[in-house]
Amino acid sequence: MAKLTEEQRQQRAAARARQKALAAEEEDRQEIERRETWAREGTCLTWEEFEAREPCRGCGKPMYDRLGSWYPLMKLSEEERREYEAAEARFKEEHPNCRSSRWSISESRVSHCSRCCPPPPLGPQMVRKLAGFFAALPSEEERKKNLDAWDLTLTCDHVAEHIQHRDHGYVSARVVDCPECGERRGVVQSVRVGPAYTSEAIQAGRVALDQERLASELSAAQEKLRREERKAEATRRRIKEMQKQLKLDS
């Protein structure tokens, strides 16, 4: 098998990245559609309904059974292991094609499918905890000092700006809103530009990024030209040989 050239490896890597972005885009579309259906059909429980022990409206099972969480498999008795395996078999039979994660509530043995079952509602205690967390965050101006801008190339080939904390070395978002399409699009490539709220630094970063891209494209074009010139020279030599052979035969 012939060894791949650097250009071919880059093309294959780009194709894989695009396929992953398209798959993430489809998953995101299904997730949004599912949540809109839950909201439209009233599938999610309120905190009062949860407290009243109403069953999950996705699968019909109790939200939690108060039987206590399962022990690690190595610590289960024979009877408990049989119960656990039977519960696993029932779950797989009920959700054969979901291909999704599952969730459960502490001190409960009931498993819920993330595709079929809406998550449990937030209780007052968790709401207060989250409110306290957000209240303790630094001011907006302080947060801006630690934010970087990224350029995200999307499946539609548009570029969207993404801003996140400087401590993150990569963009975890797989799907974002495209400002030009107005649609949710998968992220094919992400490149850090620089500080998000210093216009001079951002402009300098974008110029450097453009120059880097241009230099890479120039190098690839020059290599392609050299290959074509070598092929052309080989073709010219072959033509001369054939012309010489024709003269000798005549």
Question: Rounded CA gap, 105 and 89, in Å?
Answer: 20
Each as own residue / partner, the long-range contacts of residues 93-98 (CB below 8 Å, 24 or more positions apart, any chain) are: 94/59
pLDDT band at residue 210 using 50, 70 and 90 as cut-offs = confident
- Residues 154-163 have a mean pLDDT of 94
pLDDT band at residue 52 using 50, 70 and 90 as cut-offs = very high
- pTM recorded for the entire structure: 0.67
**10-24 per-position pLDDT tens digit:** 889 999 999 999 999
Question: Rounded CA gap, 223 and 146, in Å?
Answer: 40
- Residues 42-52 have a mean pLDDT of 94
If we measure between CA atoms, which residue out of 60, 20, 68 comes closest to residue 174?
Answer: 20
Burial class (CB in 10 A: 0-12, 13-18, 19+), 193: buried
- Residues 185-192 have a mean pLDDT of 95
Would you say residue 129 has pLDDT above 70?
yes
**137-157 per-position pLDDT tens digit:** 888 778 888 899 999 999 999
Question: Rounded CA gap, 137 and 143, in Å?
Answer: 8
- Residues 225-240 have a mean pLDDT of 85
Question: Rounded CA gap, 214 and 219, in Å?
Answer: 9
Question: Rounded CA gap, 107 and 67, in Å?
Answer: 6
Structure tokens at 23: 């798959």
Contact 115, 97 (CB under 8 A): no
- Residues 161-169 have a mean pLDDT of 92
Would you say residue 212 has pLDDT above 80?
no
**Residue 38: strand pairing partners:** none
Range of lowest pLDDT (44-58, 123-137, 186-200): 186-200
Element (H, E) at 104: none
Domain ranges of the chain: 6-126
Q: What percent of the chain has pLDDT over 70?
A: 95
- Residues 101-110 have a mean pLDDT of 92
Chain-wide mean pLDDT for the chain? 89
Phi-psi region of 204 (alpha: psi -120 to 50; beta: other; left: phi over 0): alpha
Would you say residue 93 has pLDDT above 90?
yes
